[in-house]
Chains A and B, each alone.
Chain A
Amino acid sequence: MALIITCPVCGKRNGYEFKFGGEEKGPRPDETDLTPKAWCDYVHMNHCVAGVQKEWWCHKDGCGSWFTIYRDTTTNLERQVQKADHQEAEK
């Protein structure tokens, strides 16, 4: 299905130029006191939101940059997230 993604460098481009990089899960967990559960959470676990989610993309057939966007997984449309929602979604 069609998807248009806004690359911060190249602008709006066809989604097939990009590589999906997973849901935004926050920073890589610290190695001290790292438990198998925390590591598994970071590596494997997803929220699988049927709605708007923050996620990583790489413009692999373009400038190669990594960036995050908000996308509605039920419509495949990018969403501009307001500042207040932004903080909400970060949580």
Chain B
Amino acid sequence: MFFKRKPMWGKKKKLKSSYDVVIIGGGLHSLATAYFLAKDHGITDVAVLEKNYIGFGGAGRNTAIVRANQRTQYNVPLYKEALDLWPILTKDLDYNLMFNNCGNLNLMHSEAAMTAARMTIATAQFHGVESHLIDAKQAKEMVPALNISEDITFPIHGAMFHPPGGVVRHDAVVWGLARGAAKRGVEIHQETEALGIGIQNGKVTSVTTSRGTINCKQVLISAGGYSASLIHGMLGIKLPISVLTIQAMVTQPVKPLLNHVVSSGAYHAYANQTLKGEIATGAHMDPWPNYTTLTTAHYIKHQAEALSEFLPCLRGLRFMRIWGGLADMTPDMAPIMDGNNQIEGFFMDCGWGYFGFKSCSAVGKYMSEFMAKNECPDILKPFALKRYEEHRLMGETAVVVNYTPDN
């Protein structure tokens, strides 16, 4: 009010004519990679280019849920590390990320779903991630608001309880990582659009931006939902990605009644109560690719129907806000992290769908290692783009998700 506010990540700087590393996209994966490049590898001559402002995209639109209850042996360790990193980052960044490990409760609505949950739990336990199968009665004890009666569309058979998961304040992560990176010399350039990547003799040489051309040796595209469009537009590399708008909403604030993140596959809904008392809920994706981020009455209705069945005490509650973001979905529901494969010096980190937030801390750590050493860390190797050509799709989903006539 009476003093001039200055951004925590430094004043607006002039764009230099060259950097060692240019990162396209100013979201969490970019900021985390920049932060770890500077902190762990001493690479500080880094420019993060953001077309709008940092946290404009998925970083500020996700519903802040973190968990490590994925299905495959490749994904679980990555998400586990991301989960373990929140308390460490809170300390290192000296910024309260408000990590609340309240636990995730995945409701199961059929015996088949219970069987699938048993397998997921076995995988989690094998990798040292706490996860249990509980029955409907135990779920009701944990979340008294739950409706376990038989007369709803999808009666609850049981649940997968994953105690170490929870919620992290997503804006705090954006600001904390941006400040941490800027402190170590990384330059964050907002309102700077990347327009093209210059290549000579199969090597990355420059990035053209709306504020001039920058010479660089390495470039990372991790621009969330826009990654696939940018990578194809700039380099002609096609990706197995479909970009869809995903919506979320919050209700008016109410007294504490939900102490866990509750989600249901059959109802296509998840809900958790924020610290302000609002019920944050969402999960729905548009059935056709688009970049609109528009919201619809269709999903408000869907959400109201779903919530009033399995959490009937929420009936009559009003939705206060609804918003949309982009999810870049791959057919095997697993991301693509690759580098130096197609073009020397070009790295990509995309296809995160709706789980980019949960993974950003660990991915930043390993992508920075990949870029600093020019050698892919073992943990990222299974995520290379080549897996599609080799028909080694990841089993993150039981059936290949394909937005084509096939299904």
User: Considering the complex, which residues of chain A in the window 1-45 have a beta carbon less than 8 Å from any beta carbon of chain B?
Assistant: 1-3, 15-16, 19-22, 36-37, 40-41, 43-45
Q: Contact: B390 with A48, CB < 8 Å?
A: no
Contact among B226, B238, B402 for A50, CB-based, below 8 A: B226
State how many angstroms separate the Cβ of A73 from the closest Cβ of chain B: 5
Contacts of A1 in B (CB 8 A): 245, 286, 290, 292, 294-296, 324
A46 at the interface (CB under 8 A from B): yes
Q: Contact: A20 with B289, CB < 8 Å?
A: yes
Contact indicator per residue, chain B 227-257, by CB within 8 Å of chain A (1) or not (0)? 0110010000011111101000000000000
Q: Contact: B296 with A48, CB < 8 Å?
A: no
The residue in B243, B295, B404 that gathers the most chain A C-beta atoms within 10 A of its C-beta is B404
Contact among B286, B290, B292, B388 for A40, CB-based, below 8 A: B388
Q: Nearest A residue to B247 by beta-carbon distance?
A: A1
B interface size (C-beta, 8 A) = 33
Contact indicator per residue, chain B 278-321, by CB within 8 Å of chain A (1) or not (0)? 00000000111111101110100000000000000000000000
Q: Contact: A56 with B243, CB < 8 Å?
A: no
User: Considering the complex, which residues of chain A in the window 39-81 have a beta carbon less than 8 Å from any beta carbon of chain B?
Assistant: 40-41, 43-50, 56, 58, 66, 73-76
Contacts of B290 in A (CB 8 A): 1, 73-74, 76
Contact among A19, A41, A43, A73 for B289, CB-based, below 8 A: A73
Q: Contact: B238 with A47, CB < 8 Å?
A: yes
The residue in B229, B243, B288, B294 that gathers the most chain A C-beta atoms within 10 A of its C-beta is B288
Contacts of B331 in A (CB 8 A): 44
Q: Contact: A48 with B239, CB < 8 Å?
A: yes
B126 at the interface (CB under 8 A from A): no
Q: Nearest A residue to B390 by beta-carbon distance?
A: A36
Contacts of A66 in B (CB 8 A): 405
Contacts of B389 in A (CB 8 A): 36-37, 40
B6 at the interface (CB under 8 A from A): no
State how many angstroms separate the Cβ of A38 from the closest Cβ of chain B: 10
Contacts of A36 in B (CB 8 A): 389-391
Q: Nearest B residue to A18 by beta-carbon distance?
A: B288
Q: Contact: B241 with A46, CB < 8 Å?
A: yes
Q: Contact: A74 with B226, CB < 8 Å?
A: no
The chain B residues found within 8 Å of chain A, CB to CB, are 226, 228-229, 232, 238-243, 245, 286-292, 294-296, 298, 324, 328, 331, 388-391, 402-405
Contacts A2-B294, A40-B388, A75-B292 supplied; 19 other A-B pairs, CB < 8 Å: A1-B286, A3-B288, A15-B288, A20-B288, A20-B403, A22-B403, A36-B389, A40-B240, A41-B238, A43-B404, A45-B238, A46-B239, A46-B240, A46-B242, A47-B232, A48-B228, A49-B232, A73-B243, A73-B290
Residue contacts A-B, CB under 8 angstroms, 30 given: A1-B286, A1-B290, A1-B295, A1-B324, A2-B296, A3-B288, A16-B287, A19-B287, A20-B288, A21-B404, A22-B403, A22-B404, A36-B391, A37-B389, A40-B388, A40-B391, A43-B402, A44-B331, A44-B388, A44-B402, A46-B228, A46-B240, A48-B229, A48-B242, A48-B243, A48-B328, A50-B229, A50-B243, A74-B292, A76-B290
The chain A residues found within 8 Å of chain B, CB to CB, are 1-3, 15-16, 19-22, 36-37, 40-41, 43-50, 56, 58, 66, 73-76
